[in-house]
A and B are shown apart, each in its own frame.
Chain A
């Protein structure tokens, strides 16, 4: 048997299908798609925000830890070169390199100091708001 909508045996009205309401029980059928546990429902979406923050903190700490050693070595060698080289052109380039390394160091410090999950829209892409506002101001 085919009804007006072309489907077999579905006697719900169109408005019922749109609303997702079960005609017999008057319950919203979509409620069964909610896979969150009772505890999560009680807490709303707060727990997921916490999980996002935890994920961000873990990533930030990992990046800070992994980048620290190579940066120490690069900065150290730049400092040693600056303490010995007298040629002004080379010194000038080393100072530029050191300035950029200091910016990277500041970003690592921002990652270490991360306490809140804040995002920022960057040309349509969602990024973690670490020091982007400060960087923009500096530029």
Chain B
């Protein structure tokens, strides 16, 4: 993780206990976390400033995943997006393989997996910005 500059993460998780835990885990890794509880707040924060990674929880039955990710892409398509998931990876690849979701992190995950996600997202972020 770069020591000179904090990695900016936008985290959307409706469940308070999980949101607070993930914020603490990401802070431990060395990230600066903006944690929000609903979709509109997430999109508003995303419009307001630049982030290095957006992490959101898919665990809402009525969430229009594709619509949400498209909204993020319209604001800034160069910011990597990660979705926290609970089912088989194959299911998500079939359903959202062609969407703007860059990473899947399947629950339950450990601190080391969260760190790997952030590191991979930073590499992708740099690559995308280098291309842009």
Contact surface of A with B, Cβ cutoff 8 Å: 61, 64-65, 68-69, 71-77, 79-80, 83, 101, 104-105, 108, 112-113
Rounded to whole Å, the gap between the CB of A131 and the closest CB of chain B is: 15
Residue in B25, B28, B86, B112 whose CB lies within 8 Å of A69: B86
Interchain CA distance A69-B16 in the complex, whole Å: 12
Q: Which of B18, B28, B87, B88 contacts A72 (CB 8 A)?
A: B18
**Cβ of B17 under 8 Å from chain A:** yes
Contact: A76 with B59, CB < 8 Å?
Answer: no
| CB-nearest residue of chain B to A114 | B88
Contact A68–B107 (Cβ < 8 Å) = yes
Q: Which 6 A-B pairs have the closest CB atoms?
A: A71-B108, A68-B107, A79-B111, A68-B86, A72-B108, A112-B88
Q: Which residues of A contact B88 (CB under 8 A)?
A: 61, 64, 112-113
Q: Does A73 lie within 8 Å of B86, measured CB to CB?
A: no
- Among A65, A76, A104, the residue within 8 A (CB) of B21 is A76
Contact (Cβ within 8 A) A71 B111: no
Give the B interface residue count (CB, 8 A): 20
Bound-state CA distance A68–B89 (Å) is: 14
Question: Known: A65-B86, A65-B87, A112-B87. Contact between A72 and B107, CB under 8 A?
Answer: yes
Q: Which of A61, A64, A65, A76 has the most CB of B within 10 A?
A: A76
Q: Are A80 and B25 in contact (CB under 8 A)?
A: yes
Q: What distance in Å separates the Cβ of B111 from its nearest Cβ neighbour in chain A?
A: 4
* Contact assessment for B110 and A79 in the assembled complex, using a CB-CB cutoff below 8 Å: yes
Give B25's nearest chain A residue, CB to CB: A76
With A79-B110, A79-B111 already in contact, the answer to whether A61 and B87 are too (CB < 8 A) is: yes
Identify which of residues 85-122 in chain B touch chain A, using a CB-to-CB cut-off of 8 Å.
Answer: 86-89, 106-112
B107–A71 contact, CB under 8 A? yes
Known: A61-B87, A112-B88, A113-B88. A69 touches B107 (CB 8 A): yes
